Structure 1
Amino acid sequence: MNRRTLLASALLLPAAAAAQPAWAPARPVRLVVPFAAGGSTDVAARILAERMGETLGQPVVVENRTGSAGFIGAENVARSAPDGHSLLMGATGLLAIAPHLYATMPFNVERDLAPVSMAFASDLVISVANNVPARTLPELIALAKAQPGALNYASSGAGTTTHVATELFRLAAGIELTHVPYRGSSQAMNDLMAGNVQVLVDQIAGSIGQIRDGRIRALAVTGTARHALLPDVPTVAEAGLPGAQATSWGAVMAPAGTPAPAVARLAAAVREAMTQPAVRSRMSAAGADPAFSTPEELAAFIRAENQKWGRVVRDGRITVS
């Protein structure tokens, strides 16, 4: 399963899928976001929660439980009663990258969490500072090969999606770059605009304003097709580097053991939300492509993403302190 397949599934629903599963929440549903309020995952969760609440007949309340790379919020859901009233908005780093970075985690993704539905996906954009002479991705690669290790790339922190996605790009291009981790994407962006670092791979939503204002230069997007917000920026495949395709995504998870009817009903509520034009418009404006899936499709997708990012962590020799 790839992101385009998941997004396209909206057009392939059989009529039987529209039937409402025989379960309904008896009280408000918690949707735990394991990251700070105001971030892209939080914004997407709040857009989704509002519509899900209308569909389920009970409020879906977003609850931010931050800390420890998202482990605190994820463990809280994993240890909650498996009755359909506690959900997690998981993300790429937490569900597919962290298991390969940490020797021990307070929860196991496959054992302790049950997939419900894909929720959104966000392409990334490879950008450079204006003082970098490269105008295209091949030119950046040539520059890096001519000066191994001389170019610095910023990330929002060691082990984050921006870090590992840049390593995927570096490995695919066969170049050496020097990693400069920051505490958050805003600090990384500020130093890119100042020219203190040369390269940043980040979500389009976090870079689009600076790109449009001419404060940084976009060279390629990491999705399988050009992005609507950056129609003139080629994909990595168009730039000759298909091995650098990457997506940052969010998915709704429940505690393991949640009854199948509850999981099915919750997945149907996500699907219903993501087919609404108003929801899709708000998600797209926030830089996220709305998506949904069956629980089985999501389980297969997470397994594939774990295999992909596990290879990058190993080949890139990525570690966290």
Structure 2
Amino acid sequence: MTETQKGVLAMIGAAVIWGVSPIYYKLLAHVPPVEVLAHRTFWSLVFFAGLLALQGRLPELGRALSGWRRIGLIALAALMVSVNWFLFIYATQIDRNTETSLGYYIYPLVAVLLGRFLFAERLGAAQWIAVTLAALAVAVLTAGPGVVPWISLTLALTFGLYGVIKKLLPIGPMVSVTCEVLVIAPLSVGALVWIQAQGQGAFGQSWRDTLLLLASGPVTALPLILFSTAARRISMATVGLLQYINPTLQFLCAVVLFGELFTPAHRIAFPLIWAALAIYSLAALRQDRASRRASMAAVGVSTHVTKPASEASAKP
């Protein structure tokens, strides 16, 4: 199996786990979302710290948390991902996974806009068309039920900002995520201690709930590890295409498994989003192929130029 094939399989694995995760959190719908989030944060820290310890990389945490600027960025990243995790858990519990899937469909286009306004990245015509179609979809959803799809927009924005912060942090993915959950661990532990002291905690009340809460660490960690594995082996354009498996599976869970309401506004908005993502993805693939051809051409020119020089130097 080639490295590219390994990367594709890893990305598919990550996207599938994320996509079917509503089923897992639905099993914990009777547990308050704050408690589920606290367990998710704590057991993620245990899992990631354990992996780093096995790899002999725990000292990297100290180096990563050096300097107030870096600590501030890690804390801000922790805030963004915590809001994102909490809202996803909450939306699953109140039967709003249609909106969570929409949020993760919108996310790539929000990331494009953030890149434009925060990093002055240039957008092509196809990207502007995709963003416009996404804005139109949000307008349809707002005009239909008469309520702004705040869950979708908040999920997309917090994850987009999380990506921006990660771009500013010169830290590897596993160390970075471990630092993030480490920063918010005191709040999580404090919340869990208080909940258990009140006799309201789900942990320890039944083997089923206890195992599910313990599993929140691996359920969170495994797709992140697979994602980081994929990102090192395949192009970002391929990563972008495969990640749509995630919201697609969430959408199917919401409509097929959970029987969530799919309104006429949704029937208009989702095709608009899918069209936007198709345009965006095709443009990304073309750009990726063009950059690869340019790189290969540059290597070819370099070889062509240097070869005669080396041959000339070898002559007596």
For Structure 1 versus Structure 2, the TM-score category normalised by the shorter chain is under 0.3
Q: TM-score, normalised by structure 2?
A: 0.22
The structure with more radius of gyration: 2
More strand by share: 1
More helix by share: 2
